[in-house]
Chain A
Amino acid sequence: MTSYDGQAASIIFDTVGKSFAKPGGGTVSAISDVSLTVGAGTITGIIGRSGAGKSTMLRMVNGLERPTSGKVLVGDQDVGTARGAKLRAIRRDVGMIFQHFNLLSSRTVSENIALPLEIAGIGGAEIKTRVADLVDRVGLTAQADRYPSELSGGQKQRVGIARALATEPKILLSDEATSALDPETTQTVLSLLKDINRDLGLTILLITHEMAVVRDIASHVAVIEGGQIVEAGTTYDVFTAPQHPTTRSFLSGVTGVTLPAFIKDKIIAERPTSGGEEVVRVTFSGKHATDPMLALLTRDLGIEVNILAGAVEEIGTQPFGNLLVSLDAAKGDEARAYLERHGLLTEVLGYVG
């Protein structure tokens, strides 16, 4: 491999706002008052529904969109005010990959990867060696002279990644890069991104609407809703102790722990006057994730617990458990107090009569 001297750069959004002019007059705000620091060398995910403003945020990092208020800094450069040659120089330090790959159909794999180098005015001989290295890095040596129409989706995204890395950027932006891929291909592309982050040390900022993508590779995450960051932190903290309803709704899909249908249909919000069962979500994080807490609960307090659903996963190399249980409604308060004393989080989901 050629030596890689790209130093990672941080990205700072400082009270950034962006509004667009509406065709009929007036403006519509895409994001407002967004502040976020993306640490150098991290993999940071911005998650949100479509229209939440995540794409606008990402596109501000390479100046495809300009903020209407606030500042966007890449390293120590202000992208929002850069123009012309200065902006193009910043863009060469920021690679980008796309949901629909955006490869030139008229160029082969090698020629596509060479494009940013040609644009940067690098000589033919150097382009040749660099492209050969990049083709090798993304495992497409056999396909180097093929055209994109002859490749699978995963292979196309590998070309996109090699192309984005060609100018040895300090930052890689990923715009829903796996959203058009099947789950298996998504995994291989994500692990390639992880390897690149580890080997080259560059900062990766990705946007996605899939919490699984964040869980699998991001060290940090920001949740965006209605043009504002509603929650941000390390992936582990956000996953294990989500504060905002939007975050929780994203998580409910990915943690794979949902109520079985036969309970869901019967659940009520009010505690029955007598009898009945309380349905509780118990989350275990960090060192408690592997403790046999429910067995201890039964032993110490004599409260019996039904397990309805559950899973233990690894998030950012730390185990995280998530259980749905039901227990005697009359003893609910006592049981939850016991579990919280032992460092677990509980949440009452409702009651079953």
Chain B
Amino acid sequence: MSANLINLLIEATGQTLYMVAISTFLGTVFGLPLGVFLAISQRGELLSSPWVNKVLGLVVNATRSVPFIILVVAIIPFTRAIAGTSIGTTAAIVPLTIAAVPFIARLVENAIREVDGGLIEAARAMGATPFQIIRKVLIPEALPAITLGLTLAVVSLIGYSAMVGAVGGEGLGDLGIRYGYQRFMPDVMAVVVVILIVLVQLVQSIGEWIAARVDKRAPKGRGQ
């Protein structure tokens, strides 16, 4: 494999990491509050508002129903409005983020809903405001589950990022298609796949390590 190709691979790995990192960050910035709100706005919960909850839930489901490759193309005008262009790696961050937000929101919602209702009651009995309950009880207690959820989101985004070649986004997936498939270079395809596997393994291991560090509950199976 030529030095040129190796450079291309390094560059593509960097582009993939760039797209995934920024879209995970933005996805968390918008998805975390949305997920918290979805969890606590259900009927009978802390900020019970069933109708708003239903409408938001529908929007989240609708976004998650659209196959990612169609989402990328469908929101091109929106992407152009946000990023100034609809093609290229930076532009690809827009659809990746749009896909990440509802996904992360659902993962956070599930994590928050797993928090023992007794803790919310205890905090209310202390005179906590809803915001204090979110910040001091719900998020810290859900942190192990949120960490594992974000790990899952990053892995999914690595997969999604392979599709943004369709709108001129670069990265490993695009390299694999253009060189490995269209130029009949199976060795490039193989290397791309190996790098993706290593990336996903790394992300998963780091995510699990952090989740274990923040989890102070008794290990499963040992009981209380």
CA of A100 to CA of B123, assembled, Å: 14
Chain A residues positioned under 8 Å from B140 (CB to CB): 104, 106-107
A77 nearest CB across to chain B (Å): 13
A55 nearest CB across to chain B (Å): 11
Please give me the residue from chain A that is nearest to B122 by CB atom: A102
CA of A105 to CA of B216, assembled, Å: 6
Tell me whether A149 and B224 are in contact (CB under 8 A).
Answer: yes
Segment with Cβ contacts to B, from A113-121, A279-287, A302-310: A113-121
Tell me whether B127 and A88 are in contact (CB under 8 A).
Answer: yes
How many residues of chain A get a CB closer than 8 Å to chain B's CBs? 28
Tell me whether B121 and A102 are in contact (CB under 8 A).
Answer: yes
Please give me the residue from chain B that is nearest to A92 by CB atom: B127
A155 at the interface (CB under 8 A from B): no
CA of A105 to CA of B125, assembled, Å: 18
B60 at the interface (CB under 8 A from A): no
Tell me whether A104 and B127 are in contact (CB under 8 A).
Answer: no
Chain B residues positioned under 8 Å from A104 (CB to CB): 119, 137, 140-141
Q: Which of A62-107 contact B (CB under 8 A)?
A: 62, 64, 87-92, 94-96, 98, 100, 102, 104-107
Partner of A100, one of B118, B124, B128, B136: B118
A147 at the interface (CB under 8 A from B): yes
A167 at the interface (CB under 8 A from B): yes
How many residues of chain B get a CB closer than 8 Å to chain A's CBs? 23
Tell me whether A119 and B127 are in contact (CB under 8 A).
Answer: yes
Chain B residues positioned under 8 Å from A88 (CB to CB): 127-129
Tell me whether B125 and A94 are in contact (CB under 8 A).
Answer: yes
B218 at the interface (CB under 8 A from A): yes
A104 nearest CB across to chain B (Å): 6
Tell me whether A116 and B121 are in contact (CB under 8 A).
Answer: no
Query: Interface SS of chain A: helix, strand, loop or mixed?
Result: mixed
Tell me whether B118 and A98 are in contact (CB under 8 A).
Answer: yes
A144 nearest CB across to chain B (Å): 15
Tell me whether B214 and A149 are in contact (CB under 8 A).
Answer: no
Partner of A119, one of B118, B123, B141: B123
Tell me whether B118 and A106 are in contact (CB under 8 A).
Answer: no
CA of A107 to CA of B121, assembled, Å: 17
B55 at the interface (CB under 8 A from A): no
Partner of B127, one of A102, A120, A148: A120
Please give me the residue from chain B that is nearest to A84 by CB atom: B129
Tell me whether A102 and B118 are in contact (CB under 8 A).
Answer: yes
Tell me whether A119 and B132 are in contact (CB under 8 A).
Answer: yes
Q: Which of B90-107 contact A (CB under 8 A)?
A: none
Chain B residues positioned under 8 Å from A95 (CB to CB): 125
Known contacts A105-B217, A106-B143, A149-B216; A64/B127 CB under 8 A:
no
Please give me the residue from chain B that is nearest to A106 by CB atom: B140
Tell me whether A106 and B216 are in contact (CB under 8 A).
Answer: yes
Chain B residues positioned under 8 Å from A96 (CB to CB): 122, 125
Please give me the residue from chain A that is nearest to B142 by CB atom: A106
B161 nearest CB across to chain A (Å): 33
Interface string of B113-151 (1 = CB under 8 A from A): 000101101111111110010001100110100000000
What are 12 residue pairs bridging A and B, where the CB atoms are less than 8 Å apart in the complex? Answer: A64-B125, A91-B125, A92-B127, A98-B121, A98-B122, A104-B140, A105-B217, A106-B143, A106-B214, A115-B126, A115-B136, A173-B125
Give the interface of A toward B (CB within 8 A).
62, 64, 87-92, 94-96, 98, 100, 102, 104-107, 115-116, 118-120, 147-149, 167, 173
**Chain A to chain B: the 9 pairs with minimum beta-carbon distance, closest first:** A91-B127, A88-B127, A149-B218, A102-B122, A102-B118, A116-B126, A147-B216, A106-B140, A96-B125
10 more contacts with CB within 8 A, not counting A64-B121, A95-B125, are A64-B124, A87-B127, A91-B126, A94-B125, A98-B118, A106-B214, A115-B123, A115-B136, A119-B128, A149-B218
